């Protein structure tokens, strides 16, 4: 009949479906990019703030050879500044020579003047979640309550979350890192790793696992 709409051909229908799918994909990509930028900003912003204050214990988290050295030195400085009378070195990953991160941390802390009796070594944990769980057990056994956690800046937001999951509210303190163009790739890798880890734990939390 004159004026009546022609039925859509299968080809025209497919083209419209493809255009809708492309628009949806672009919208999701833009949303994901903005979400990633927001998460990166939160990680960087949180790690830039030093929350160190009077506490019962300082917990230094292991981070490989260089990371553990940097964090141990910062933890020892906080101890010497009177932030807390006790230090827990946490990390069971084995470094060159077979020494654990926690043992390296303890050795460096002693060399920096921290009394051996003030240091507790926790060298059974192999990731941040285990760091938090095992250190929290020690803290509760000793009757401590106020805790400062030391790690690298990008790691602190996730570390804080893990400690809260273990039932232990904490303050965080970032270990200083060298700032240079040569350190940019390492920093970018650390940031991307933390974004992925936070995303993973966020999904696990949402699923209740």
Residue 162 in any domain: the answer is yes
Q: Residue 142 falls within a domain, yes or no?
A: yes
Residue 36 lies in a domain: no
As a whole number of angstroms, the distance between CA 2 and CA 4 comes to 6
* pTM value surpassing 0.85: no
Condensed to tens digits (0 to 9), the pLDDT of residues 158-200 reads: 999 999 999 999 999 999 986 655 556 777 777 788 878 777 7
Contact 87, 110 (CB under 8 A): no
Spatial neighbors of 7 by CB under 8 A, at least 6 apart, are none
Q: What does the longest C-alpha to C-alpha distance in the chain come to? A: 97
d(CA 61, CA 77): 15
Q: Are strands 147-151 and 57-61 parallel, antiparallel or unpaired?
A: parallel
* Average pLDDT rounded to a whole number, residues 129-137: 96
Q: Which residues does residue 121 pair with via DSSP β-bridges, in sequence order?
A: 89
Q: Compute the Cα dihedral for 200, 36, 128, 98 and give only its sign.
A: positive
Query: Cβ distance 174 to 151 under 8 Å?
Result: yes
Beta-bridged to residue 87, according to DSSP, are 58, 119
Give me 23's structure tokens: 């628009």
The pLDDT tens digits for 3-35 are: 555 455 677 767 777 777 777 777 777 666 676
Asked whether residue 188 is assigned to any structural domain, the reply reads yes
Q: What is the pLDDT of residue 121?
A: 97
Residue 161 is part of which domain span?
57-207
Specify if 179 maps to a domain: yes
62: left (phi over 0), alpha (psi -120 to 50) or beta: beta
Question: What total of structural domains would you count in the chain?
Answer: 1
- CB burial string 49-68: b at 16+ within 10 A, e below: ebebeebbbbbbbbbeeebb
CATH number at residue 158: 3.40.50.620
> Looking at the domain assignment, is residue 41 inside a domain?
no
3-class secondary-structure state, position 149: strand
pLDDT tens for residues 92-130? 999 988 899 999 999 999 999 999 999 999 999 999 999
**Residue 59: strand pairing partners:** 88, 149
Q: Does any domain span residue 121? A: yes
Q: Is residue 146 part of a domain?
A: yes
């Amino acid at each position: 009949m004159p004026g009546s709409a022609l039925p859509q051909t299968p080809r025209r229908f497919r083209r419209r479906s493809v255009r809708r799918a492309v628009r949806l994909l672009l919208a999701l990509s833009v949303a994901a990019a903005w979400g990633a930028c927001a998460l990166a900003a939160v990680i960087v912003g949180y790690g830039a703030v030093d929350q160190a204050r009077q506490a019962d214990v300082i917990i230094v988290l292991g981070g490989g050879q260089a990371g553990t050295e940097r964090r141990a030195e910062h933890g020892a400085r906080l101890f010497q500044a009177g932030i807390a009378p006790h230090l827990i070195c946490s990390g069971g990953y084995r470094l060159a020579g077979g020494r654990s991160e926690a043992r390296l941390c303890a050795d460096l802390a002693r060399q920096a003047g921290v009394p051996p009796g003030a240091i507790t070594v926790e060298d059974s944990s192999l990731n941040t979640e285990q760091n938090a769980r095992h250190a929290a057990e020690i803290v509760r056994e000793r009757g401590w309550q106020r805790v400062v956690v030391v790690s690298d800046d990008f790691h602190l937001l996730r570390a804080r979350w893990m400690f809260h999951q273990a039932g232990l509210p904490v303050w965080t303190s970032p270990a200083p890192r060298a700032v240079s163009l040569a350190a940019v790739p390492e920093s970018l890798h650390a940031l991307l790793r933390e974004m992925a880890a936070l995303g993973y734990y966020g999904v696990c939390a949402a699923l209740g696992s």
